Amino acid sequence: MSTKNLSLIFTKIPEAFPVPGEHLTVKDVGFDLSQPAPPNGLVLETLYVSFDPYLRGLLRDPKIPSYMPPFPLNGPVVAASLSKVLKSNDPAFREGDIVQDRLPVQQYNVWQPSESSPAKPRKIDPSAGPEDIRHYLGALGMPGLTAYSSLYEIGKPKKGETIVVTSAAGAVGQLVGQLAKHEGLKVLGSVGSDDKLEFITKELGFDGGWNYKKEKSTKDAINRLTDGKGIDIFYDNVGGEQLEGAFDTLNLFGRIVECGQISQYNLPPDQRYPIRNTFQTVAKRITMTGFMVGDANMGPKHFLEHQKNVGTWLKDGSFKAKIHEWQGMENAADAFVGMLKGENFGKAVLKVKV
Amino acid sequence: MSTKNLSLIFTKIPEAFPVPGEHLTVKDVGFDLSQPAPPNGLVLETLYVSFDPYLRGLLRDPKIPSYMPPFPLNGPVVAASLSKVLKSNDPAFREGDIVQDRLPVQQYNVWQPSESSPAKPRKIDPSAGPEDIRHYLGALGMPGLTAYSSLYEIGKPKKGETIVVTSAAGAVGQLVGQLAKHEGLKVLGSVGSDDKLEFITKELGFDGGWNYKKEKSTKDAINRLTDGKGIDIFYDNVGGEQLEGAFDTLNLFGRIVECGQISQYNLPPDQRYPIRNTFQTVAKRITMTGFMVGDANMGPKHFLEHQKNVGTWLKDGSFKAKIHEWQGMENAADAFVGMLKGENFGKAVLKVKV
């Protein structure tokens, strides 16, 4: 007996922005809801899925090498999800438990430990943190841990310094900015709309910011907002022209935290933004460092502290984390592409069980 | 009574390569050889002058801010020099001593301590190191200390890794390559002529290299020389296309030592090389770090070790340091520009007292 099970399938390798229905297609892959949980495994119903920029890199030709394998063509997109346990064959989990794991983006999944992926899903205890469990995909999930670990490890924030956070209303940017305020920095943010600008300055407590769509250049914006004094940390989620502006405005011994370059991922190589001022690195002794949250000195090192601090601050209201929710698996491809285009205002989440 | 004293004068701000006789002009500024040494000071006759790429940045419009002040227009170029003491009014120096200091590039100088520049010239003891005192402008001078400190502090070489050194036959590159061999790395070098390629592979012991003027791209050259295995450290003296090739071929956790970008210094901003692949920083966790030899963790930290080790290795012949000598103050402007164009084969030195 097959139940409908809508799944987000990778159907064609995109050259630029993926197109819903062409490169990403929602299909019914069916599910047998009468099946028991497998040995040491779970039957799961998906509640929410997290859409994050890094997923774009996995929609690629397998001939292009990189450090995460791409999704197989005609297989499902796999993303961080919150699911409800329907059936359990592992005493650590009970029916009704909420778990987080990277799983195929579809309504139902079977989970089972394997040699290549033996780690159990993470059980969420909603009583330990904020009420809204969606935060476990955002501020308390991978994006939050990304923000937390890299700001401290690479950014090395010092009281009195100035930081620029790009994509400042996004899942990572929101948290970086609030953490930097907490550490006593002057915090500026770049965003893609006036609404987002109002949000980061009025609600998140940023000291200033700009809508990059209305500026002549990042360099001009930073010079105006710092009275020409420049910045000490550039937290990069965007790349391209904004990164170029950073090289021009960073002060001596400035740090670039290279978290992502969303502006470049959907461009063919010859259309990527040409940066002509990396020579600033020498005279100004800039350090630019890339990382991934799974690196030993990142997520694994900071996880417990991140959970405790950010969980507490979200619960007591001193930190905020805005979430942008799309609804329904039938809209999964549109939501994915909308996230890549920055149409989300806050952490991008798809509510699967509507 | 005035003696002829040819001096290299900064006569016009260059837009691109300086032109001898236009932007840099040798003029007789005269010198009174009968004057006594000033209080606590010295009268000096210049033997050798060091020409290094960083000097190009000091031939600029004072309205362009940077972290070393530019040379005043119509004043002398100031560079590291070896001089002979003609007269001394400081008991620490005797007539005939050889000293090293940054001084106007001219045949005779008066040196005197001042509030802004109280440090005495460094007295060279030729019996302590190699016979050829010119090494105190190269492998045992600022370029050598640059190579030594940055390779260890930023490059963090590990046995078995692969390093690419650009401008590999230059003052810094020669030493970086030999130090990296000493540490057990596979060492590849990029150079601008077949003679230099033969020199680094046959005489300096590099494992391989390429003449960048004969290659389609740096990426191709590195892929060929590493069998596609990539590199771990990129020691950059060149910038531009070579730096772009590094982003493409560096391995996970690769390091870029950003020592200089000689290919970019003589270009107007809109003609600088457009780098389109800095996004590689993220996935590959690359760190790119700029520095100056005067930074606390660089020269000052490594000076004694550098002098001891490199002095010993030059003396016993296990290290080599090729020097390119121009002769005569009348050729100073040509030598300076020749150095910027890479016409030197080895450390660029001008012999002033011929």
Q: ipTM for the complex?
A: 0.90
Residues of A with CB below 8 A from B66's CB?
A: 283
8 Å CB contact between A246 and A190: no
CA-CA distance, B242 to B273, in Å (whole number)? 10
Helix (H) or strand (E) holding B335: helix B332-340
Average pLDDT for residues B246-268, to the nearest whole number? 95
- CATH architecture assignment, domain A142-290: 3-Layer(aba) Sandwich (3.40)
CB A278 to CB B270 under 8 A?
no
Residue A85 has pLDDT above 90, yes or no: yes
Euclidean distance between CA atoms B275 and A280, whole angstroms: 14
CA of A154 vs chain B CAs: smallest distance (Å) = 10
Q: What angle do CA A176, A182, A187 make, to 5 degrees?
A: 55
Sheet holding A208-211, edge to edge: A208-211, A186-191, A162-166, A231-236, A250-258, A287-290, B287-290, B250-258, B231-236, B162-166, B186-191, B208-211
Task: Tell me what pLDDT residue A126 has.
Answer: 76
Contact (CB<8Å) A279/B272: yes
- pLDDT digits over A323-353, tens only? 999 999 999 999 999 999 989 999 999 999 9
Separation CA B218–CA A304 (nearest Å): 43
pLDDT of res. A66: 78
Best probe of the A interface among B217, B257, B282, B288, by most A CBs < 10 A, is B282
User: Across the interface, do A291 and B282 touch by the CB < 8 Å criterion?
Assistant: yes
Does A287 sit within 8 Å of B289, measured CB to CB? yes
Taking contacts as CB-CB distances below 8 angstroms, the residues of chain A near B230 are: none
The torsion region of residue A215 among left (phi > 0), alpha (psi -120 to 50) and beta comes to beta
Say whether A201 sits in a helix, a strand or coil.
helix
Q: Domains of chain B: which residue ranges? A: 6-138+322-351, 142-290
The pTM for the full model equals 0.91
Q: For chain A, state the CA radius of gyration.
A: 21
Answer yes or no: is pLDDT of A92 > 90: yes
H helices present in chain A, as ranges = 142-150, 171-182, 194-198, 218-225, 240-249, 280-284, 299-315, 332-340
Contact flag A252-B67 (C-beta cutoff 8 Å): yes
Instruction: Say if the Cβ atoms of B290 and A284 lie within 8 Å.
Output: yes
Rounded mean pLDDT of chain B? 95
pLDDT at A265 over 90: no
| Record: contact A287-B283, CB cut-off 8 A | no
What residues contact residue A87 under an 8 Å CB cut-off, 6+ apart? A36, A37, A42, A43, A95
First to last CA, chain A: 23
The reported pLDDT for the residue numbered A353 is 94
Residue B63 per-residue DSSP state: T
Mutation to test the A interface, candidates B229, B249, B276, most A Cβ within 10 Å: B276
- Report the pLDDT value the prediction gives residue B125, as an integer from 0 to 100: 85
All residues of chain B having their beta carbon less than 8 Å from the beta carbon of residue A285 are 289-292, 295
Q: Do domains B6-138+322-351 and B142-290 have the same CATH topology?
A: no
How far is residue A333's CA from residue A8's CA, in Å, rounded to a whole number? Answer: 7
Q: Does pLDDT of B126 surpass 80?
A: no
- If phi > 0 it is left, if psi is from -120 to 50 it is alpha, else beta; for residue B91 that is alpha
Amino acid identity at B246? A
* A290:B283 CB<8 A: yes
- pLDDT tens-digit profile of A133-157? 999 999 999 999 999 999 999 999 9
- The per-residue pLDDT for range B284-327, each reduced to its tens digit, is 999 999 999 999 999 999 999 999 999 999 999 999 999 999 99
- Shortest Cα distance, chain B CAs vs residue A211, angstroms: 23
Closest Cβ–Cβ partner in A285, A286, A290 for B282: A290
Question: What's the confidence (pLDDT) of residue A335?
Answer: 98
Question: For B150-155, what is the mean pLDDT?
Answer: 98
d(CA A65, CA A268): 16
Do A104 and A76 form a contact (C-beta atoms < 8 A)?
yes
**CA distance linking residue B148 with residue B142, whole number of Å:** 10
Work out the mean pLDDT of chain A and round it to a whole number: 95
Question: Distance (Å) from the C-alpha of residue A102 to the closest C-alpha of chain B?
Answer: 19
Residues of B near A (Cβ–Cβ under 8 Å) read 57, 66-68, 239, 243, 252, 258-261, 264-265, 269-270, 272-292, 295
Looking at residue A200, its pLDDT comes to: 97
Residue B237 pLDDT level (bands cut at 50, 70, 90) = very high
- Who's near A323: CB < 8 A, 6+ residues apart? A132, A134, A135, A138, A346, A347, A349
Residues written for chain A:
354
Please enumerate in sequence order all residues whose Cβ is within 8 A of that of B29, keeping only pairs 6 or more positions apart, or say none: B5, B6, B7, B9, B76, B106
Average pLDDT over residues A47-73: 91
Determine the residue of chain B that is closest to A240 in CA distance: B276
- Model confidence over B34-93: pLDDT tens digits? 999 999 999 999 999 999 999 999 999 998 877 788 999 999 999 999 999 999 999 999
In this prediction, residues B182-197 reach a mean pLDDT of: 97
The yes-or-no verdict on residue B1 having pLDDT over 80 is: no
Average pLDDT (A225-251) is 98
Q: Cα separation of B33 and A131, whole Å?
A: 86
CB A324 within 8 A of CB A348: yes
For residue A304, the Cα-to-chain-centroid distance in whole angstroms is 19
Question: Given pLDDT bands bounded at 50, 70 and 90, which one contains residue A204?
Answer: very high
B282 and A273: CB-CB below 8 Å?
Answer: no
Q: Among residues B132, B170, B192, B136, which one has the least CA distance to residue B347?
A: B170
Distance from CA of A265 to the nearest CA of B (A): 8
Task: Tell me what pLDDT residue B265 has.
Answer: 86
The DSSP output letter for A180 is H
Predicted pLDDT at B127: 78
Q: Spell out the CATH class of A6-138+322-351.
A: alpha beta
Orientation of helix A142-150 relative to helix A299-315, angle to 10°: 110
pLDDT of residue A59: 95
Two tokens at B36?
């006594």
- pLDDT (0 to 100) of residue A296: 93
- Residue A161 binned pLDDT confidence (cut-offs 50, 70, 90): very high
